[in-house]
Structure 1
Amino acid sequence: MRLLTLLVFTTLFVLPRIGQAQEHALRIRVLDPSGSALPGAIVQLEPSGAYLLTNQEGNGIFQAIGPGALRLRAQMMGFETLDTLFAEGQTPTALTLTLKSRSLELQEVTVTAKENTSGLGTSSLIEREAIAHVQPNSLRDVLQLIPGQLAINPSVNTPQQILIRQVSTNGAGNAVAQMGTAIVMDGSPLSNDANLQANVNILNSSPGAPAPFQSVANQGFDLRQIPADQIESVEVLRGIGSARHGNFTAGAVLVQTRIGDFKPNLTLRANPNALQLSGGAGYRLGERHAISADVDAMDSRPDPRDVFNRFFRRQATLGHQYSGLAGDLLIRNRLTLGNSTASRALQADQDPSQRSWESEDRLFRWNAQLIMQGNNTWYDRLEGTFALTRNAQNSFFTEFITTNVGPRPTFFTDTTGVVPFGPARYLNITTVEGNPLNYYHRLEWTKSLRLGNVAHKLVLGSELRHDVNRGAGRQFDLETPPRQNFSAGDRPRTFDEVPALNQVSAYLEDRFLLRLGGKIWSWQAGLRMDHYFLSGPEQRVIGTDWQPRLQTALALHPKHRLRAGYGVHAKVPGLNFLSPGPRFIDLINFNFFAPDPDERLLVVTTRRIEPDVRELRSFLSRKGELSMEGELGSMRYTVNAFIERTSGGPSFVRQPFIAARGLFEVEALRPGQPPLLSESPTRFDTLFLAFDAPVNNRGLVNQGVEFALDFPEWKVLKTALSVNGAYIRTKSTVEGEEINPNFIFRHVNAPFIPFFQAGQGNLGRQFNTSFRFIHRFPQAGLVLSSLVQVVWVQEDQVIGFDPLPTAFLNRRGEVFRVSPEEAQLPEFVPFHNLTSPEQLLPVRRPPLTLVNFRMNKEFQAGRGFAFFVNNLFNHRPLFQDPRNVAFVQRNLSLFFGAEVFYRL
C-alpha cells in the first residue's frame, strides 16, 4: 500500500506541476452526406482521450491540442465511424468532417472483426455492420468472428459460454476459463459471482456436476441473455488488459450499446429454432438531452416439433443522454428490464419418472456513466461509472422417485435419534430461489502532460464491487427429498446465511512515448491492486493481489510494428465456492421394519460437515505475448504468439470422510410398540464416505499463435478476402493429489483410501483457419460473404495418468505415503487406478472443412432482407473414436435463417 500511496501522491501533486508544451485550439464541424449539420456526434482525440459532442449547428471545439501525433475519431449512431490520423506538427486549427450513413450501398462495408492496432493490447473490434451481417440471436453468435473461434449455429436453447485462446479439454478446465472471462457492458462488468442456482447431488455424478435445470453457477456469464441488435460495437481483449480492467484471467468482452439520437429501426429474424423481433429508436430533446429505447423478444425451441422444451427472452432498455457545461459534461443513463426462461415441460404420458424443470431469470439493471473534461486544469478527464443489477432467479425440478424404504432424517446438527421411514415411491419438488444483487462503481482520473520530450498519459482509478444473494435458497420437503445415496444426507438451505463478496481495487497506469533512433517506442506500464473480503453473516479477508502489467510497441518501420507484453490477471471465485454451505451424512444405527407400522423403529446419526474454505483464494493468470503487425503492400497483417499460465483455478473435489457409527441391539420386543434398545451402542464401526468441497487445484496452460490477414478488394470482382486463424495448445491438469471418487462408493469396507499424483488431466491441440470472401455490389445494395473454415488439427488425449497410488488414508485418519515400488506390492494392487489402454490413446481427427454463406440486400437505404446458410454442402463426415470405437458425426448440422430489417 505504501508503494501505491507514493504513486498516487506523485501523480496528483508532483507531475501536474511540470510545465506544459505549447497548445492550440481545434474547431470541428460534423456534417451528414447531404451537407446538413449533425448535432450530437461524438468526436474523440487520442492519445489524450478528450472528446466533444457537436451542438445544434454540428460544431465543437477542442481548446487545448498538444504537440505530437494525433488520432481523431468521429462517430454517431447510424453513421460510419470516421478515423483520421495526423502526424506530429500537422494538426490543423479547423476541420470539417462528413460522416456517411450506414448502408450497403457504400463502397466499403466491414463485415468481419478488425484487429485493433491503435492500442498496445491484443484485441479484436467488431462494429455494427459486422454484427448485423452475422444475423445473431445473442452476443455469443457475434464472437465467432474473432481469430481462433470456430463457426457455430445460432442457438439459445442451452447456456452460451466462450473459450478465448483455449481449446476445450475437460469440464473443470473449461469452467475455470469461462469463469475467468469478463463481460463488460457500457463500462460496467456483468457479475455472475452471486449466482447460487446450483444443486447438491452426488448420485452417479462427478464433483461439481451441473444442476438438473439450466444454470451457469460456477461458470461465466450466460451470453444468450445479451441480445445483439442493440449492440453498437464489441471489443474482445484476448491478451494483456489495461490496468483498469480487473477480475478476469482469460479475456474480456467489452460491449457498447447504442444510446442517443438514432433512426427508428425494426428487425424480424427467423430460423428453424427461433423467432426474434427487435427494434429501437432515439430522439434529441433540445440541444442537451436525448432519449432512446430498445426492445427485444425471442422464442426458441431446440426442435420445431418439440413442444416440451422452450427458451424465451424479453428485454427492454431505456436510455437518456445529457450534455452540459458547454459540452464538457456527458451523462448517460441506461435502465434495462428483462426476463428469460428455459423450461422442460412435464411429459406424463412418455416419462414415468415425471421429470420436469424450469429456470427463470428476471433482470433489473441500471447503468450510469459520467464524463467530465477539464481544459488546462489539473485533469483532462474525470470519469465515473455506476451500475446496480438485481436478478430474481427462480428454478425448480421435479422427479418421481422409486427407491428403497429408508430414513427421512430431519436433524441439522450432529445428532443421534429416531426418524420416520419414508415411502419407497414419491414425487420430489425442489426449488432454488436466488436474488443476487451486484453493485459496481469506478472512478477514474486522466491527465496528459510532458516531461521533457516525453509525452505521458496518466490514468488513476479505483473500483468497488459488491455481490450478495438474499434469496429463499434451495428448498424441498424433508419427507420427499431429492434422490440421494451413499449415506449422503440433504437439507434445505436459505441464502440469507451466505456472506457478501466485496472487492476494492485501485490502479495506476502510465502511457508514454519515447524516440529511439528516430523511431517511436510506445509504452504502457500499469499496476493494479485487488483486495477481496467477505461481509455479513461471515466476515473474512480472502486476500490481496498485486497485478503488474507492462506492454510496449516499437515502430521498426513506418508500416511495421513489434509489440510485446507481460501481465498478471486475477479472478476471485464466486459465492458458491466461498460459501458452499454445510454437507450432511446420515448413518443408520438401527433399522427394524416390522409388518406392523406401530412396531417399526429407525435410529439415525447425522453428521454435519462444514467444508473448510478458509484457504480458498483467487486464481491468477500470467500472460506473455509477442506480436508483429503492419502492412505488406496493401495487405494488413497481425501475428500474435502467446503463452498463458493459470494456477489455482477453483473446482469441487470429492473429499473422504471417516464416519464413526454406533450400532444398537434389541433388549426386548414389545407387541404394538417399537422394540426396546440398549441404552448405548453395543459396538462401533467406521465407514469411508465422501462430500464435495471447493479447492484451488486446477491449472491451465494455453499457448499458441493467432493471425489475421486483410487483403485489399479486387476491384474487378468487387471481392475482398479476410483470413484469420490460430494454433492453440491447451493443457488442463490437477495441481494437487486427489482421491479416486468412485473408489469410495464401490469399496465402502476397504481398509484404505488411495491418493493419486498431481498432474493428471487433458491435453488438446487445434489449428484452424477461416477464409472469408466478401463480395460487395454497392449499386445493388448487396453484400455477400462466404466462409471456408478448415480445421487442420484437432487432437486430445489424457496426460499425467499413473495407476499407482502415492499415499493411503486408513480408518484411523492417518495418511502414509508409499514409493512407486511399494505401491506395486500385492496388498496394494486392488487400490490401483485402473483404466483401459484405449482410454489413454490420443485422438487425432482428420482435417474438416465447413462452408457457410451469408447475404444482406438493401432495397432502400436501411431497409432490406438478409439470409444465411451454415454448412452449405451438408458435409458431416463420420469419425471413429478409438477410445470407444463409436462413430461420431462431425461438423455443424445444415442450418439456415432469414431476417427482414427496416429503418426510417
Structure 2
Amino acid sequence: MNNCYRGYILIAFWVCSLAVYGQTEMQAIDTLRNIRLQEVIVTATQSNAPGTRSVIGQDAIRHIQATDLSVLSQLLPGVLVRNPDLNAPAAFTIRSATYENTTNALGTAIVVDGLRMNNNANMQQMGLEGRGSLFNSTVLSGFDVRSLSPSSVESVEVIRGVPSARYGDVTSGVVLVKSKAGIQPLTIGIRLTATEKLASVGKGIAISNNGGTLYLGADYALSNQSPQVFEESFQRFGIQAAYAKDFRSATLRFNMRGYWMKDNDKRGQNTVDGEFRKYLDQNISFSANGQWKLNRSWISNLEYQLGFTYGSQKNESSTYYSGTQQVTTYTAQAGEHAGVFLPPHYFSQLSVEGKPLSGDVSLAANHRKTMGENISNHLQLGLHAEVEGNRGKGISFDPLRPPLEMLRVRTRSYRDIPLLYKYSAFAENYFILRYGKMRTEVQAGVRFTQLPTQRLQRNSSVDPRINLSQIFIDRTDDTFLSRFSVRLGWGLMHKMPVLAYLYPDKSYTDMNCFTYNDAENNQRLTVMHTFITDRNFNSDLRLPVNQKFEIGVNFRIGGVIADVVWFKEHLKNGYCTSQLAEPFSYRHYSPLISKGEQPELTDEGVMNDGELLPYTLNTTFATYLSPQNGIEQEKQGVEYTIGPIHSKTLRSSFYISGGYLDVCEKNTALSALHPQIEVNGKAYPYVGIYETGPSVANTQIWQQLNSRFQCVTQIPRIGLITSLTLQAVWMDKQQRGMESRFNNPVYMDSNNQKCLNPVYYIDGEGNQHPFTPDMATDERFADLVIRANTTTAFLKDSYKPYFLLNLRVTKEIGRHVSVAFCANNLLQSNPKRYRRSIQKYAVVNPDLYYGAEISICF
C-alpha cells in the first residue's frame, strides 16, 4: 500500500472518528445544532415537470465529489460507475451502452444558463482522412464537459425522455446546467486524489440596496494520468461571473464563463526526446436572459435570451520519423508536378488551430390563463436564431517535413468556411385540467428548423412532441397510497450537421510517376501525379432523426416513491463517414538506370536528352472519406428508482435504482475497399463495395441489466452524511454481427473462415457491377472477398454477474469547515470475464479510486 493511499485511509478513519465523537460527547454540549436542520438529498430525483427527467442538486454534486460534468451521469438510473479521468475528453451520454458512443454524445445538448455549449464548429482534424490523429480532439463528438467545473454548478437537470419543443438540434437528450448565482457565502474548496488536485473559490454578494446580486467564482484543476507518469498532464482554469437584478416589471440575468484547458503529452507519439503533443482549448461565453412582465389579456410576458461563445483550440505536435525514404508533394493542383525527397530522419511540426464561435438569440411570448380552479393553460410561441462558424488558421505544417500519416492532406484555413445560420420557430401549449382528486397535464408542441444553405438538398426539419401525464391520486396526507400517476411521451428530434461534415476538405491522392536519384552527381528528380476530388462532400446528407416513445408510472406508498419508465427509441440517418473510391489514370515513366543522366519535368512530361521518356498509362483508384447517414440505432429499456425507504433506527434511507438497456446499432453505409496488391506490376483493377468497413461486421448489440442499492446515513445534528452504494450488474452481453440489405450474408469458406462478398465492384472505367457468388472463386475477383480475423468473431460475449462497492462520506466540522472522502471500488473487485469473440479475458469494474476534499465556507 503506497503512502498516498495510506494517507486517504487515515483521513477516512478521522472523519468516521469525528462522527462517533459527535454522537457521544457532543450530545451534552450541542454546538452543532444549526449546522443541519434537515436532511439533504444526495441522489438524483425525478422532476415534477412533464416527461422523464432527473434533477441533481448542489448537495448531490458536492457529495459525489465529481471532477467534471460527465461523472454526474452515474446518478441517473441504469448508468454504471466509472472513475473520473481528466486526462481524456469527456462527453455526456444519455441512455447509452457506453460512455464513448459518439453518436449519442453528438446528439446530447448541453445548455448552460440558457446558452447552448455545442461542438458543431469544432474542426480539430486533419480532414476526414486524418480525423483520429490529433491528440485528445473531440471533433465529430459531443461537447467536452471537462471545461465545466462542478464546483461552479448549482444544479443539473437531465431530460432523458421527450424534451420541450423549445430545445432543438438534439437527438439523445438535454442537460440543463444552472450555475451558482445570487448571494452565496465565501466558499473555498480543495480536493486531492491520487492523480488530481482541484481547488475552487466562490462568493456572491448584494450590490447596494437595489443594485442586484453579483457572484464571482474561479476554479483550478491539475491531473496526471498516473503518479508515475508526469509527462502526460491536464490543466484547467475557469472563471465565472453571474449578475442578477429584478426590476418592477422585468428581470435580468447576466452570466459570463471562461475556461482555459491544456492537455500535454511530453512523451509524444514515439516517446523520443524532443517529441510532444499538446492540445489547448480556451473559451469565453456570455449570456443574458430574463423576462418582461406585460400582464395583458393577450400576453403575460416576454422571455428573451441571447448569448455568444468564442473559443480558441490548438493542437500542436512534434513527431520524429526515422529511416524514411519517401517522396511526396505539397501541390494543391491536379496533374504532374516535381516532388520532394524527404530526409531520412527529421522532426515534423504540426499545428491545427481552430477558433469556433457561436451566437444565438431567442424570444418567446407566453400567455397564461386560468379558468376557475380547475383549468389552466400556458401557451408559448418562440423564435430562435443561431450562427456558427470557425475563424481559425486551420492546418499548417512544413511541406518539406510533413507528418507521414498526412501525406494526402494539404494546409487549409478554416476562415474560408462561411458562417452557418439556423432559424427555428416553436409553439407549445401546456394544459392542466383538474377534476375531483385527479389531474390531467398535457404538454404538446412542435418545432420548425430551417438551415438556409445550398450545401444540402434536405435542410429543414419538423419536430412534433407531446408529454401526457395523468395523475389519479395526489394527496399530502399519510394514506397508504398517496400518489399514483401515469405518463406518456412521444416525439421526434433532429440533429443539425456539424461544420466538418458540411465543409470537408478536398481529397488528394499522390502517385509516384518517376524517381531518379544520382547522389554522386547531385542529380535527382521525382515526379508525382496528384489527383484531386471534391466528391467527398455529400449534398444528399440528411438530418438524423430520433423517434422517442415512453410510458412511465410514478407512485408513493407510505412515503416511499417509485418511478418506473419503459422507453423505446429509433434513430435513423445517424452521421458517419464511409470510404468511397474513384478511378483515375496516370503516367508511369520508365526508370533511368545509368548515372549522369539529367532528366527534367516539362509541360510534355519527363524529358531526358530532349526526348520524352517512355511510359505506360496505369489506372488506379483514389479512396476518400465522405459523410454519410449510415448509423441506425434501436434501443429499448426500463429505468426505475425506488426510495427513500427510511429506517429511524439506523438513521438511514435506502434507495434502489437501475435499468435494463437493449441497444442495436447498425452501420448501413456502403463502403469501398481497394485491395493493396499488384497484378502484373499494376494496381489491382477493381474496388469492392461492401455493407461494412474493413471488418465483416456492421451490427453491434449490447444488453445490460443492473441495479444500484444505496444506503444513505444522515445525522443532521452533527452534519454527517455517508452513502454506501452496491452496484450489481446482473446481465452484460455484447455481440457483433452482419445484417445484409442485399441478401449477401456472411458464409464459411473451405478453410472454415467467415467471409463476406462485396455487393458491387467498380472497374477502372468507374462502372459499377453486381458481385455474384461464383465470382468469389474466380481468381480475377477472389481478392475482393474479405475475411474475419477469427472464427469466433460473431459469438456472443456474456458475462456472469459482477459487483462493485462505493463509499462517500461528508462531515461538517464546526460552522465553516466540511471534509469529504470518496472511494470507488472500495473492495478492489476486478473479476475477469472471458470474451469468446476475441478469445481473451477482460477485466470488469473500474480500478480503485479514492480522494478527499475539504471545503471552507464563511
Shorter chain as denominator, the TM-score bin is: 0.7 to 0.9
* One-letter amino acid of the counterpart of residue 334, structure 1: N
Q: 1:641 aligns with which of 566, 590, 594?
A: 566
> Contact 1:343/1:358 (CA < 8 Å) preserved in 2?
yes
Aligned to 2:337: 417
**CA distance in 2: counterparts of 1:694 and 1:720, whole angstroms:** 50
Alignment of 1:44-443 (within 5 A): 105-116=36-47, 118-168=48-98, 174-200=101-127, 210-285=132-207, 286-325=209-248, 328-346=249-267, 351-352=271-272, 354-443=274-363
- 1:75-130 alpha-carbon deviations (Å, 9 max, x no partner): xxxxxxxxxxxxxxxxxxxxxxxxxx9986233210000011x1221000001111
* One-letter amino acid of the counterpart of residue 145, structure 1: L
Identity %: 25
> Contact 1:601/1:674 (CA < 8 Å) preserved in 2?
yes
**CA distance in 2: counterparts of 1:146 and 1:103, whole angstroms:** 31
- 1:448-503 alpha-carbon deviations (Å, 9 max, x no partner): 12579743210111111111111111100110111138xx5221111111222221
Change (3 A) 1:295 1:876: same
Q: Secondary structure in 2 aligned to 1:841?
A: coil
Alpha-carbon shift at residue 527 of structure 1 (Å)? 0.5
**CA distance in 1: counterparts of 2:184 and 2:451, whole angstroms:** 41
Is 2:435 the counterpart of 1:513? Answer: no
* One-letter amino acid of the counterpart of residue 467, structure 1: E
Aligned to 2:684: 750
- 1:650-688 alpha-carbon deviations (Å, 9 max, x no partner): 112121232311123479978363363454863201113
Alpha-carbon shift at residue 269 of structure 1 (Å)? 0.7
Structure 1 stretch 819-828 or stretch 569-578: which is displaced more?
819-828
Is 2:385 the counterpart of 1:468? Answer: no
Aligned to 2:761: 808
The alignment yields a C-alpha RMSD, in angstroms, of 2.5
Is 2:504 the counterpart of 1:583? Answer: no
Aligned to 1:793: 731
Aligned to 2:853: 899
**CA distance in 2: counterparts of 1:356 and 1:209, whole angstroms:** 19
Q: Secondary structure in 2 aligned to 1:405?
A: coil
> Contact 2:181/2:215 (CA < 8 Å) preserved in 1?
yes
Alpha-carbon shift at residue 266 of structure 1 (Å)? 0.8
* One-letter amino acid of the counterpart of residue 458, structure 1: L
Alpha-carbon shift at residue 222 of structure 1 (Å)? 0.5
> Contact 1:806/1:820 (CA < 8 Å) preserved in 2?
no
Change (3 A) 1:509 1:492: same
Is 2:698 the counterpart of 1:763? Answer: no
Aligned to 2:21: none
* One-letter amino acid of the counterpart of residue 560, structure 2: M
* One-letter amino acid of the counterpart of residue 628, structure 1: V
Structure 1 stretch 746-755 or stretch 179-188: which is displaced more?
746-755
Q: 2:648 aligns with which of 704, 712, 715?
A: 715
Alpha-carbon shift at residue 885 of structure 1 (Å)? 2.7
> Contact 1:127/1:232 (CA < 8 Å) preserved in 2?
yes
Q: TM-score, normalised by structure 1?
A: 0.83
> Contact 1:102/1:862 (CA < 8 Å) preserved in 2?
no
> Contact 1:186/1:255 (CA < 8 Å) preserved in 2?
yes
Alpha-carbon shift at residue 319 of structure 1 (Å)? 1.9
Alignment of 1:16-55 (within 5 A): none
Aligned to 1:833: 786
Is 2:581 the counterpart of 1:628? Answer: no
Alpha-carbon shift at residue 894 of structure 1 (Å)? 1.0
**CA distance in 1: counterparts of 2:720 and 2:589, whole angstroms:** 84
Q: Secondary structure in 1 aligned to 2:299?
A: coil
Alignment of 1:649-688 (within 5 A): 649-665=574-590, 671=596, 673-674=598-599, 676-677=607-608, 678-679=611-612, 682-688=615-621
Aligned to 2:630: 697
Change (3 A) 1:550 1:902: same
Structure 1 stretch 510-519 or stretch 282-291: which is displaced more?
510-519
> Contact 1:193/1:573 (CA < 8 Å) preserved in 2?
yes
Q: Secondary structure in 1 aligned to 2:451?
A: strand
**CA distance in 2: counterparts of 1:168 and 1:150, whole angstroms:** 9
Change (3 A) 1:236 1:815: same
Change (3 A) 1:745 1:577: farther
Mark the runs of 5 or more structure 2 residues left unpaired by the alignment. 1-31, 475-482, 601-606, 740-745, 747-755
Aligned to 1:23: none
* One-letter amino acid of the counterpart of residue 768, structure 2: V
Change (3 A) 1:683 1:165: same
Q: Secondary structure in 2 aligned to 1:143?
A: helix
**CA distance in 2: counterparts of 1:578 and 1:393, whole angstroms:** 20
Q: Secondary structure in 2 aligned to 1:484?
A: helix
Alignment of 1:722-737 (within 5 A): 722-737=655-670
Is 2:797 the counterpart of 1:877? Answer: no
Alignment of 1:441-456 (within 5 A): 441-450=361-370, 454-456=375-377
Alpha-carbon shift at residue 695 of structure 1 (Å)? 1.3
**CA distance in 2: counterparts of 1:546 and 1:403, whole angstroms:** 57
**CA distance in 2: counterparts of 1:143 and 1:668, whole angstroms:** 66
**CA distance in 2: counterparts of 1:597 and 1:330, whole angstroms:** 81
> Contact 1:381/1:447 (CA < 8 Å) preserved in 2?
yes
Aligned to 1:594: 518
Change (3 A) 1:861 1:597: farther
> Contact 2:333/2:530 (CA < 8 Å) preserved in 1?
yes
Change (3 A) 1:592 1:680: closer
Q: Secondary structure in 1 aligned to 2:230?
A: coil
Aligned to 1:555: 471
- 1:290-349 alpha-carbon deviations (Å, 9 max, x no partner): 111011011110112222111000011122212112xx311111222221100101479x
Aligned to 2:822: 868
Change (3 A) 1:745 1:196: farther
Q: Secondary structure in 1 aligned to 2:70?
A: helix
Change (3 A) 1:828 1:106: farther
**CA distance in 1: counterparts of 2:591 and 2:733, whole angstroms:** 62
- 1:795-829 alpha-carbon deviations (Å, 9 max, x no partner): 11112253132211112211111355665667644
**CA distance in 2: counterparts of 1:746 and 1:167, whole angstroms:** 42
Mark the runs of 5 or more structure 1 residues left unpaired by the alignment. 1-100, 203-207
* One-letter amino acid of the counterpart of residue 818, structure 2: G
Aligned to 2:752: none
> Contact 2:822/2:851 (CA < 8 Å) preserved in 1?
yes
Alignment of 1:476-555 (within 5 A): 476-484=397-405, 489-514=408-433, 519-534=438-453, 543-555=459-471
